[in-house]
């Protein structure tokens, strides 16, 4: 019912956000019905890549562009073949991270790229009129990290199960009854796509949307067509313009009613603030906010009304009171409810609430030490904090900390390599707390 995009783990006073959005690799390759070696490339995709990485987005560029013997080589945007540097057939590029390479390198490249975090996520809301053959689509691209260089968006229409003779040889057999898949029919917004952020920095969590409307060629079977969408970081060399994320949807298939593009939390003293964002909503009554302390048993702690049906970005907020006196692990999830009563859960985010209720300065460890030791302390209220080391005569040896700090627990390493053996003192000072500890350097 609705798609889950981001997970986070949080510690008191700090927000650590990481993406759990799976990377879908983009394989772009050149082929031709005339090419005797190309069936081997098709086999690698069908038998190795797709079974193991089923969400890999594959774009099959038939070329060279406008070749009379290949009916699929004439398509809007076929300048992409020369722009990516394709000349030998079949060769391919994975995520635009290098020059075209032979089909033997495709699978390991997809395998390696699948472990690289996605830099953006893509969601769409679309409608297709089977009578007028009109496609209306809005694409939402959300940065998962700060993007400081220009990025672009490509929207491509492909078709599967195209029956046309394929040349082959004894090693790469073709036949007269050959099914061609992933065939690029139209690069709907041009072979270079469309700029997303221009020269502006694109901040993590920021969503950029683009809307399009096209009429689909009546010669193409709509039920065999797919919409491939990918975003890439622009580079002067196109085949080194890294793809940040790629996704694919069927032309005629349904899109999930609610597209959740982020779900995150911030911790402050006394509260845990939940924030989430949707790219689009369909028939959305709202969100029940649920909390759990064991990650299994959840209870409803509030309800936030939804926006019904919208095709624009919406943001939501909920604050949970955190009256814990010790370090506490809290889990949250959203239960999205339709007006029909249907519902779907988000993934769970995990929050560690660890605000101290009082100041403290612990004994250093190890003690005695040689040559270094750890000093640990807790701050109950925000303010200027200093931590200094003195010798037995009261002379200041080193100032380890002088900064404005929020409530939390901190650890600092003290290195006594340049000091002689003996007794030293460390003093923690804040606006309302002073405490001194003793430590022994034993070389």
Higher pLDDT, 431 or 78: 78
Domains 258-353 and 360-441 share a fold: yes
Mean pLDDT of 220-227: 96
Q: Where does the pLDDT of residue 245 fall: very low under 50, low under 70, confident under 90, or very high at 90 and above?
A: very high
* 393-433 pLDDT per residue, tens: 999 999 999 999 888 788 999 999 999 999 999 999 998 89
The CATH fold assigned to 360-441 is Immunoglobulin-like (2.60.40)
pLDDT grade for 19, boundaries at 50, 70 and 90: very low
**What are 161-174's pLDDT values in tens digits?**
999 999 999 999 99
Burial of 131 (0-12, 13-18, 19+ CB in 10 A): exposed
Stated pTM of the model: 0.59
In angstroms, the CA 203 to CA 262 distance is 13
Residue range 291-303: mean pLDDT, rounded: 93
- CB atoms < 10 A from the CB of 194, how many? 14
214 forms beta bridges with: 135
Residue corresponding to tokens 């049906």: 309
Decide: 293 and 313 in contact? Cβ < 8 Å.
no
Spans of all domains in the chain: 12-250, 258-353, 360-441
Kindly list the distances between the CA atom of residue 405 and the CA atoms of 53, 148, 324, 379, 428, in Å, as whole numbers in the listed order. Answer: 46, 29, 20, 8, 13
Task: Kindly report which listed range (11-20, 24-33, 37-46, 134-143) carries the lowest average pLDDT score.
Answer: 11-20
For the stretch 371-384, pLDDT in tens is: 999 999 988 888 89
* 340 vs 333: CA distance, rounded Å: 21
Residue 382, pLDDT score: 83
Q: Across residues 62-84, what is the average pLDDT?
A: 96
The third-level CATH classification (topology) of the domain covering 258-353 is Immunoglobulin-like (2.60.40)
What average pLDDT does the segment 60-65 reach?
97
User: Residues of 95-130 as b/e, b for ≥16 C-beta within 10 angstroms?
Assistant: bbbeebeebeebbebbeebbeeebbbbbbbbbebee
Average pLDDT over residues 224-239: 96
């Amino acid at each position: 019912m609705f798609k889950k995009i981001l997970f986070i783990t949080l510690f008191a006073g700090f927000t650590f956000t990481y993406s759990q959005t799976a990377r879908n690799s983009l394989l772009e390759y050149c082929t031709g019905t005339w090419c005797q070696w190309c069936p081997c490339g098709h086999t690698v995709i069908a038998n190795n890549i797709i079974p193991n990485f089923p969400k890999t987005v594959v774009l099959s560029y038939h070329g060279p562009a406008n070749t009379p013997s290949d009916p699929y080589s004439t398509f809007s945007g076929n300048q992409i073949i020369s722009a990516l540097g394709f000349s030998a057939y079949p060769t391919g590029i994975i995520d635009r991270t290098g020059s075209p390479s032979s089909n033997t390198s495709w699978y390991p490249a997809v395998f390696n790229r699948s472990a690289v975090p996605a830099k953006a996520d893509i969601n769409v809301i679309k409608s297709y009129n089977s009578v007028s053959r009109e496609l209306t689509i809005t694409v939402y691209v959300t940065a998962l990290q700060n993007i400081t260089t220009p990025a672009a968006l490509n929207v491509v229409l492909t078709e599967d199960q195209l029956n046309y003779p394929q040349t082959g040889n004894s090693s790469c057999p073709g036949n007269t009854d050959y099914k061609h898949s992933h065939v690029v029919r139209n690069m709907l917004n041009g072979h270079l796509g469309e700029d997303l952020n221009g020269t502006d920095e694109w901040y993590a969590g920021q969503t950029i949307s683009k809307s399009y409307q096209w009429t689909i060629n009546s010669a193409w079977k709509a039920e065999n067509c797919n919409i491939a969408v990918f975003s890439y970081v622009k580079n002067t060399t196109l085949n080194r313009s890294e793809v940040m994320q790629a996704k694919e949807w069927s032309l005629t298939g349904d899109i999930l009613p609610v597209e959740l593009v982020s779900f995150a939390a911030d911790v402050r003293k006394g509260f845990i603030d939940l924030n989430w964002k949707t790219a689009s909503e369909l028939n959305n009554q709202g969100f029940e906010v649920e909390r759990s302390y064991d990650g299994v048993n959840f209870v409803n702690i509030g309800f936030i009304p939804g926006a019904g049906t919208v095709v624009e970005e919406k943001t939501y907020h909920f604050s949970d009171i955190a009256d814990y006196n010790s370090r506490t692990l809290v889990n949250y999830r959203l239960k999205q409810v339709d007006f029909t009563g249907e519902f779907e859960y988000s993934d769970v985010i995990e929050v560690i609430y660890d605000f101290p209720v009082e100041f403290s300065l612990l004994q250093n460890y190890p003690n005695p030490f040689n040559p270094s030791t750890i000093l640990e302390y807790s701050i109950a209220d925000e303010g200027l904090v200093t931590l200094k080391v003195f010798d037995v005569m009261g002379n200041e040896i080193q100032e380890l900390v002088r900064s404005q700090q929020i409530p939390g627990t901190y650890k600092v390493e003290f290195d006594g390599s340049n000091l002689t053996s003996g007794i030293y003192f460390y003093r923690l000072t804040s606006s309302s707390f002073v405490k001194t500890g003793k430590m022994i350097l034993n070389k």
